[in-house]
Amino acid sequence: MKSLIVFYGCVLGLLAAVMLAKAQVLRKQIPDKLVVLTFDDAPKSHYSFVAPLLKKYGFDATFYVCEFPPDYSDTSKYMSWAEIKRLSDMGFEIGNHTRNHAHVNKLKTDSLQAEIRYIEKKCDSLHIQKPTSFAYPGYSTSTKALETFKSMGYATARIGGDTVYHPLADNPYYVPSFSTAGTDKEKVLGFIQQAKNGNIVVLTIHGVPDLPHPWVTTPPALFEEYLQYLKENNYIVISMRTLMQYINTEEAHKLPLPLSTQSNKMPAK
């Protein structure tokens, strides 16, 4: 009898600890069908095609911008800063993707800070809200970058991984995401349908289409089908900035880091 009392006491203690941790990390309960849209690299189609469609469907999103070398100045391929400013004025979040799409695992701390600060200064000069979300270029990560993120006021950093984001288990500096690149519609819809039971689906989308990097293109017609699916099935579609209304990042930053910090690198660009 005594052993049963001890056993149940341990179980209750464990449940209490889990509930306390949940209460500390979450600002409010994660609803089913919560999807975050993120867009990388600042291709022209984000301004000319994606943004108007998002407004049509009433969806929010985060655009991670950089000045992709060597031909960022080619405005037939990439957004100008004036166009990035218009995205911000439309209500979309502008995130930081470094100045030169630089892989953080290859940068020293001062170089990483300079890459991040350049985007911040461009935003400030155009009265765009200071970025607080980062996306790892090429999905290449480094634990050495975390202190830089903290010191520069970043709440989240997004990786790849093709898996759901579980805010009670995943550190916000390693937010996993699914890529929509390619033509496998059922695969992408399968990703979206995993947004349930406390799991959040974050989608990474490059150009629609992506003229500079066609291997990561999401076809325009297919992209609109994804938006239609989200709308017709009553998904809640938000930005990384809005996601922070659900998560106490100060507590969530204490969560363990993934075992590997080189998560699913993308093909070289």
Residue 259 has a pLDDT of 73
Name beta bridge partners: 135. Answer: 158
Residue 107 placed within a domain: no
In a domain, 5, yes or no: no
> CA angle 198-139-191, nearest 5°?
35
Total number of domains constituting the chain: 1
As to burial, measured by CB atoms within 10 angstroms (0-12 exposed, 13-18 middle, 19+ buried), residue 185 is middle
CATH number of residue 45's parent domain: 3.20.20.370
Q: How many CB atoms lie within 10 A of CB 157?
A: 22
- The mean pLDDT values, 10 residues at a time, for the chain of 269 residues are 49 35 86 98 98 98 98 96 98 98 97 98 98 98 96 98 97 98 98 98 98 97 98 98 97 90 43
Is 58 within the bounds of a domain? yes
Phi/psi for 176 (5° steps) reads -75, 160
Contact indicator for 28, 246 with CB cutoff of 8 Å: yes
Residue 13: predicted pLDDT: 35
Residue 254's identity, in one-letter code, is: K
- Residue 201 tokens read as 């689906």
Task: Specify whether the CB–CB gap between 44 and 77 falls below 8 A.
Answer: yes
Q: What domain range includes position 170? A: 31-94+156-252
Interior angle at CA 25, CA 12 and CA 17, nearest 5:
15
H helices within the chain, ranges in order? Answer: 2-25, 44-45, 51-57, 81-89, 109-125, 145-151, 185-192, 220-232, 240-243, 249-252
Asked if residue 48 belongs to a domain, the reply is yes
